[in-house]
Chain A
Amino acid sequence: NAGVTQTPKFQVLKTGQSMTLQCAQDMNHNSMYWYRQDPGMGLRLIYYSASEGTTDKGEVPNGYNVSRLNKREFSLRLESAAPSQTSVYFCASSDNSPIQYFGAGTRLSVL
């Protein structure tokens, strides 16, 4: 059972480039989340989607957009990457319970 799958695992971008991080879950969960993790900062919520067709801003949404394509997929887009977006990105899902299931993470470097 795959759980939460994130792609890619690693990415290097130049400043100004765009890219989309993909996330898919096969647990039929309603809620999906995007976090970034930076040293000394803990996990910070970028955007979340409580159900298919809805998205809401989290703590640090600036510079990002999201799409809840269907119940399974929740993508995170960087339209014009900046060095400050160098981070590890985690996607997570939950069935509206406190248990979240995390993907393996995407390590993004913006040069």
Chain B
Amino acid sequence: QVQLVESGGGVVQPGRSLRLSCAASGFTFSSYGIHWVRQAPGKGLEWVAVIWNDGVNKYYADSVKGRFTISRDNSRNTAHLQMNSLRVDDTAMYFCARDPEVHDSSGTRFDSWGQGTLVTVSS
């Protein structure tokens, strides 16, 4: 069955870095775009970043642009989110989600999600 498993979260001081991973199984990983979505405690969902199937196209929310980098390794069925210069307001549960039509403005959607990994930025 489709599985997305996030890891790499933890407690980190402001200004430091963290690298999240998203391990996929149960589907053809290279056929899907991968998004990262975050949710601050008690708040709503916020889209963070996306990488297309082939890893060439990447897009970021303004709130993380220049600090976060999304990547993927299709040979290992894994995606990553490198988070630098972390701020207190980056504290959130981070989910990865797959997108079967990431290139299609009408078809793009988050059709399967992982369980999330918690990132806490605190001094």
A binds B: no
Which B residues contact A (CB, under 8 angstroms)?
none
Which A residues contact B (CB, under 8 angstroms)?
none
